[in-house]
């Protein structure tokens, strides 16, 4: 009897781009893809951080490069992709948040959050797809969404608006690109502890409220997302497109 074999999670011979890759989730996702054999480009506005990440990945004997890129500069985004060979994997990770009650939101807040989380993500994906299609690459787009792209939350009107938009955008991408062999999915994490979010968890009442909703009883760590991105980038998810991989410890199950 010949048994079926699990499709590989390996990414040897593939080129991957991770935006917002200088620290936290972005750096962890870049490290995960490099660990699976991809040649990873770490992109961000701060070169010092992505250069340090690149050095750390190379020190493990894996392949990485640092690329300075402001994803809000759409002309720079277009030039970035025309100057490079096609990528096989895009991780649309760059994002921001401005938590506040909806009645306090100013136009500048709206433009900052929706501009980066939705507009930039859209046009980064579009430019990447142009390269994939020109080269005949069957690729994978992975957009960092959030559990807040599936539910609401207090003081999260802008963030929820942006992440619900990302969820819908990714589904529509999947439909537009399926005929070209390009998949589009999201990863939707719960609260993840990083250098940027750690300060919020010092507020005991906030930490308690979060832990009450995360049914597995702990704050998420960047490592919790590394397997998810490797899966969605690889042949192991070859029939997966237009969906969201929710990594929330049970938050949205209730």
Q: Which sequence positions are flagged as catalytic?
A: 159
Q: What is the largest CA-CA distance in the chain?
A: 65
Instruction: Give the C-alpha separation, 27 to 39, whole Å.
Output: 14
| Cβ within 8 Å of residue 4, ≥6 positions away | none
Across 75-95, b (16+ Cβ under 10 Å) vs e yields eebeebbeeeebbbbbbbbbb
> Which token pair is 247?
């990594």
| Cβ within 8 Å of residue 74, ≥6 positions away | 120, 123
Query: Which residue, 90, 39, 41, 30, is CA-closest to 66?
Result: 41
> Residue 189: left (phi > 0), alpha (psi -120 to 50), or beta?
beta
Q: Provide DSSP, 203-240.
A: SHHHHHHHHHH-TTSS-B-THHHHHHHHHHHSGGGTT-
Instruction: Give the C-alpha separation, 92 to 19, whole Å.
Output: 6
Burial (0-12, 13-18, 19+ Cβ within 10 Å), 74: middle
């Amino acid at each position: 009897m010949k048994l079926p074999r699990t499709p590989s999670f390996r990414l040897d011979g593939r080129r991957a781009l991770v935006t917002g890759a200088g620290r936290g989730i972005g750096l962890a996702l870049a490290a995960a893809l490099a660990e699976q054999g991809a040649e990873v480009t770490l992109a961000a506005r701060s070169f010092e951080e992505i250069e340090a990440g690149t050095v750390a990945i190379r020190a493990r004997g894996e392949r990485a490069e640092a690329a300075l890129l402001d994803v809000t500069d759409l002309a720079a985004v277009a030039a970035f992709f025309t100057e490079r060979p096609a990528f096989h994997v895009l991780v649309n990770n760059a994002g921001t948040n401005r938590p506040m009650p909806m009645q306090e939101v100013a136009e500048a807040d709206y433009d900052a959050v929706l501009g980066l989380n939705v507009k930039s993500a859209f046009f980064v994906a579009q430019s990447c797809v142009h390269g994939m299609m020109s080269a005949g690459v069957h690729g994978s787009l992975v957009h960092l969404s959030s559990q807040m792209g599936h539910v609401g939350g207090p003081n999260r009107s802008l963030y929820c608006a942006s992440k619900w938009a990302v969820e819908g955008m990714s589904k529509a991408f999947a439909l537009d690109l399926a005929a070209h062999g390009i998949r589009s999915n999201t990863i939707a994490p719960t609260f993840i502890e990083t250098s940027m979010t750690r300060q919020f968890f010092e507020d005991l009442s906030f930490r308690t409220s979060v832990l009450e909703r995360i049914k597995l009883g702990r704050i998420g760590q960047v490592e919790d997302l590394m397997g998810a991105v490797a899966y969605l980038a690889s042949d192991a998810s070859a029939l997966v497109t237009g969906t969201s991989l929710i990594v929330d410890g049970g938050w949205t199950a209730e």
